[in-house]
Chains A and B, each alone.
Chain A
Amino acid sequence: MELKIERVRERYFKAKASLEEGQIVAELTGTADIPARSALQKFLGELGDEAARHAVSKVVIDLYEVEFMNSSCFKDFVTWINRAQGEDGTPNYQIHFLSSAEMHWQKRSLHALQSFAPDVVSIEVVER
């Protein structure tokens, strides 16, 4: 089945998602700041909807090539993760972040997201 998630092609921010072996893999690149925010909000909304529709157990968010994320976009991730936690405390799906050790902001921000939802969020530092 096809994912109903529109690809983001902003000038400095891009995002796309695919369904791979029972999980959704979303790949983000560029700078997530004010000019990218409305596109990111829409993308995350569709990502959540599609994760529910396909009943996936995991959503992988690849941030390896995200140079920076401002607090507004970070807040959108907090809201999205909160939604994934489920109303009865049982996570709807796991969220696995792929990060780069070279993007130093990711370590601190992703640690904060994991502290916010430790049962939902996991982090993997990858080398490419």
Chain B
Amino acid sequence: MSDSVPSDRAEPAASFRLHCPKDVRVVSTVRRFATELCRHYLHDAETASRVGVATHELLENAVKYAGADEALLDFSVTPGGADALVDVRTTNRASDENITRVERLVDLLERAELRHSYRSMLEASVTEPQRFGLGLPRVVAEAEMNLSCEAGTDDIEVGARLSGTGSDED
């Protein structure tokens, strides 16, 4: 389930909502924009790149599984050095099967011990290629962001949150 934001948290410096059409070519354009937005507010190219990875993987999944419908992206960035926060959330229509699959995967990935098992996931992607995608594992292992998901009746919201940056200059 999604984490709640503490009430004393600063307001985001920038946020946007994107209604994304069923066009995967748009995803890279959005990734570049999200990356640049983070670079501007957080002054940390490495962190911005991690957010770019998460934005790309989440939005690509959302567009891919939304069927004929559009996918939604909600993005916000709050500067603050160690208190900085970046939220990336996608919402898309999804089948019961997809919702169950994503819920299980997010639950698996958020277990602390599996954060260090990226290699075994890479191996599983070879032995069970149809079962194992690497999009969400990559968000946890490479982007080092926390995943959450919340299922609706016929849609699913998947979130990635980054807390703190390596820069004190924002």
Residues of B within 8 A of A (CB): 24-25, 27-28, 31, 45-46, 48-50, 52-53, 56-57, 60, 64, 118-119, 122-123, 125-126, 129, 133-135, 137-138, 141-143
Residues from chain B with a CB closer than 8 A to the CB of A31 are 28
- A78/B126 in contact, CB under 8 A: yes
A82 to B129, CA, bound (A): 13
- For B47, the closest partner residue in chain A by CB is A104
A75 CB contact (under 8 Å) in B27, B119, B125, B141: B125
- For B46, the closest partner residue in chain A by CB is A104
Interface of B is mostly: helix
A115-B133 CB under 8 A given contacts A71-B57, A104-B45 = no
**Total residue contacts A-B, CB cutoff 8 A:** 71
- B52/A105 in contact, CB under 8 A: yes
A35-B142 CB under 8 A given contacts A105-B53, A116-B123 = no
Chain A residues bordering chain B, tally (CB within 8 A): 22
- For B136, the closest partner residue in chain A by CB is A71
Within 8 A of B (CB), among A11-60: 12, 31, 33-35
Question: How far in angstroms is the closest Cβ of chain B from A83?
Answer: 9
A33 to B57, CA, bound (A): 10
